[in-house]
């Protein structure tokens, strides 16, 4: 990434064009929450729909579920989250601000190593946040901070109607548990046989110590996950772990992410989550360095064994042919929806002398095509354009936009900024020969296309 202001530019475009707004903005916001606007929700739904098609519909070894966000708290004890879902927290003794110790030490190291003014090194949001501390960054020493203590990231909620008798529950810290607790139900109610997977997507909540970098680290976010159950042996484990790594990398590449901006990073022993035997991240080259977009984890039998133990229920699987009975191992893929959105925006953001545009793959672009009458005050143009608009909207799986405001150049520029791949204009010639102009977002070239051919032309890019 060589544009140092890319994050700021993407945040500004996201707000200006209705992708993402700060959560409850009119009340001053709520740290770590974001609201998706009219473009953002289309973009996000397109991404999730593509993921679901790829993972659930295009495979015969995967089924989907949608489990409740609120779960019996025992599930979180069983999965180890109550005990071990923590980040190390330190507090500055001067200003009492709290930071993640691992991030803090990185910052101190950077500052002291470079021994330079803060402006001379590239700082992340959370690092900039620290500069609001009363001490200047160069003056900070390790002794200014309390000893790191473990801070649990699970968000608590209170359920029940009688004051004082409400039970404390957790909002899910990852969407995974809802799948594992339903393993038995899925095996008993469907025709799946090992190896098979269960896919799910939905919201997760974490009391992040330092949310930041826009939607990169939020307190409420969405995940898309697969839990793939296999026979419990090392060879199978390694085979499927490698398989899912490649499969997920290929999926991101198929969305159009530039190959130079995406890579694998294997976890070292000390950084692996409490449940993981092997872990690899897929990372994206953000303006503040390589960052995780998704994780692939070999979870072994951690989850099913623990849920079996804590619930007293049988979590084994019986092979119908061999009669062999075992607790399956699980290879997990866990992607952040919001991080995928952010990194796709970084990748697509393009500027030239004339304009800013998003070079998004048409499959994920919020608007598939926009239809314009050349002039907004000629009923004959409007009638034909409206007919085309309604007809396309009927047939195309995604949003078609209508715009008859202002001059045509401005309409094109607006659609460019939100990444609309095609703009269709109905002009006076259209009334005579039943053709329209189709303008390509990236080349800005226009061609005349017969109205009857429009659907097939668009559909070619959307499948």
**Binding residues for ligand GAP (CB under 6 A):** 174, 176, 206, 208, 217-218, 221, 223, 225, 292-295, 332, 334-336, 338-339
Minimal CA–CA distance to 10: which of 1, 20, 24, 2?
20
CB of 102 to ligand GAP, least distance (A): 14
Tell me whether residue 46 or residue 177 sits nearer to ligand GAP (CB atom): 177
Tell me whether residue 211 or residue 373 sits nearer to ligand GAP (CB atom): 211
Would the CA dihedral through 386, 390, 395, 401 be positive or negative? positive
CA distance 376 to 24: 35
Tell me whether residue 41 or residue 356 sits nearer to ligand GAP (CB atom): 41
CB of 291 to ligand GAP, least distance (A): 9
Query: Which helix (H) or strand (E) covers residue 423, if one does?
Result: strand 422-426
* 455 burial via Cβ count (<10 Å: 0-12, 13-18, 19+): middle
Tell me whether residue 155 or residue 396 sits nearer to ligand GAP (CB atom): 155
CB of 341 to ligand GAP, least distance (A): 10
Looking at beta carbons, which residue is closest to ligand GAP?
336
Tell me whether residue 19 or residue 422 sits nearer to ligand GAP (CB atom): 19
CB atoms within 10 A of CB 447: 11
CA distance 44 to 34: 13
**Angle formed at CA 408 by CA 405 and CA 414, multiple of 5 degrees:** 75
- CB-based contact 218:211 (threshold 8 Å): yes
CB of 304 to ligand GAP, least distance (A): 14
- What are the φ and ψ backbone dihedral angles of 50, each rounded to 5 degrees? -65, -40
CB of 133 to ligand GAP, least distance (A): 23
CB of 279 to ligand GAP, least distance (A): 8
CB of 150 to ligand GAP, least distance (A): 16
Cβ-based neighbours of 430, under 8 Å, separated by 6 or more: 381, 384, 436, 451
CB of 223 to ligand GAP, least distance (A): 5
CB of 299 to ligand GAP, least distance (A): 8
Tell me whether residue 335 or residue 423 sits nearer to ligand GAP (CB atom): 335
- Structure tokens, 371: 């239809």
CB of 67 to ligand GAP, least distance (A): 13
CB of 215 to ligand GAP, least distance (A): 7
Tell me whether residue 346 or residue 389 sits nearer to ligand GAP (CB atom): 346
Query: 123-127 long-range contacts, Cβ below 8 Å, gap at least 24?
Result: 124/212, 124/213, 124/288, 125/212, 125/213, 126/99, 126/100, 126/210, 126/212, 126/213, 127/103
CA distance 319 to 286: 45
- CB-based contact 334:225 (threshold 8 Å): yes
- Structure tokens, 387: 């007919």
Task: Compute the CA torsion angle 4, 8, 11, 16 (nearest 10 deg).
Answer: -120
Tell me whether residue 242 or residue 292 sits nearer to ligand GAP (CB atom): 292
Tell me whether residue 183 or residue 221 sits nearer to ligand GAP (CB atom): 221
- CB-based contact 88:148 (threshold 8 Å): yes
Tell me whether residue 240 or residue 372 sits nearer to ligand GAP (CB atom): 240
- What are the φ and ψ backbone dihedral angles of 404, each rounded to 5 degrees? -125, 20
Strands 20-22 and 325-326: unpaired
Tell me whether residue 211 or residue 362 sits nearer to ligand GAP (CB atom): 211
Minimal CA–CA distance to 370: which of 380, 359, 362?
362
């Amino acid at each position: 990434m060589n544009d140092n202001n890319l994050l700021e530019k993407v945040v500004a475009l996201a707000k200006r064009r209705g992708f993402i707004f700060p959560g409850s903005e009119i009340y001053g916001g709520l740290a770590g929450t974001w609201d998706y606007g009219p473009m953002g929700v289309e973009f996000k739904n397109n991404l999730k729909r593509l993921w679901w098609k790829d993972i659930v519909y295009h495979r015969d070894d995967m089924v989907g579920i949608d489990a409740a966000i609120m779960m019996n708290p025992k599930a979180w004890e069983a999965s180890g989250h109550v005990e071990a879902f923590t980040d190390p927290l330190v507090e500055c003794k001067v200003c009492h601000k709290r930071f993640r110790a691992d991030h803090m030490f990185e910052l101190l190291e950077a500052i002291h190593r470079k021994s330079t003014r803060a402006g001379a090194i590239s700082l992340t949001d959370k690092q900039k946040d620290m500069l609001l501390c009363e001490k200047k960054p160069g003056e900070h020493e390790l002794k200014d901070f309390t000893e790191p203590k473990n801070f649990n990231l699970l968000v608590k909620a209170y359920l029940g109607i009688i004051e004082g008798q409400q039970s404390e529950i957790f909002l899910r810290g990852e969407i995974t548990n809802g799948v594992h607790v339903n393993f038995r139900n899925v095996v008993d109610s469907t025709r799946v046989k090992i190896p098979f997977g269960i896919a799910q997507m939905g919201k997760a909540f974490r009391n992040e110590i330092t949310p930041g970098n826009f939607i990169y680290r939020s307190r409420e976010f969405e995940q898309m996950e697969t839990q793939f159950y296999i026979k419990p042996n090392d060879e199978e484990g390694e085979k499927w772990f490698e398989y899912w790594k490649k499969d997920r990398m290929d999926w991101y590449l198929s969305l159009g992410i530039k190959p130079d901006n995406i890579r694998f990073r294997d976890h070292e022993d000390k950084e692996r989550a409490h449940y993981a035997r092997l872990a690899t991240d897929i990372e994206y080259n953000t303006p503040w360095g390589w960052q995780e977009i998704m994780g692939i984890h070999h979870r072994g039998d951690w989850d099913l064994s623990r849920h079996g133990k804590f619930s007293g229920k049988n979590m084994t699987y019986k092979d119908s042919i061999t009669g062999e009975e075992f607790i399956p191992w699980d290879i997990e893929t866990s992607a952040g929806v919001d991080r995928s959105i952010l990194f796709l925006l970084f990748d697509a953001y393009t500027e030239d002398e004339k304009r800013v545009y998003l070079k998004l793959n048409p499959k994920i672009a919020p608007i598939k095509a926009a239809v314009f009458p050349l002039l907004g005050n000629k009923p004959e143009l409007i009638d034909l354009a409206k007919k085309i608009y309604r007809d396309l909207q009927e047939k195309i799986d995604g949003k078609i936009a209508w715009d008859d405001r202002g001059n045509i150049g401005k309409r094109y520029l607006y659609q460019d900024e939100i990444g609309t791949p095609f703009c269709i204009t109905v002009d006076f010639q259209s009334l005579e020969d039943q053709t329209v102009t189709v303008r390509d977002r990236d080349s800005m070239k226009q061609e005349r296309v017969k109205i009857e051919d429009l659907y097939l032309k668009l559909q070619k890019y959307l499948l």
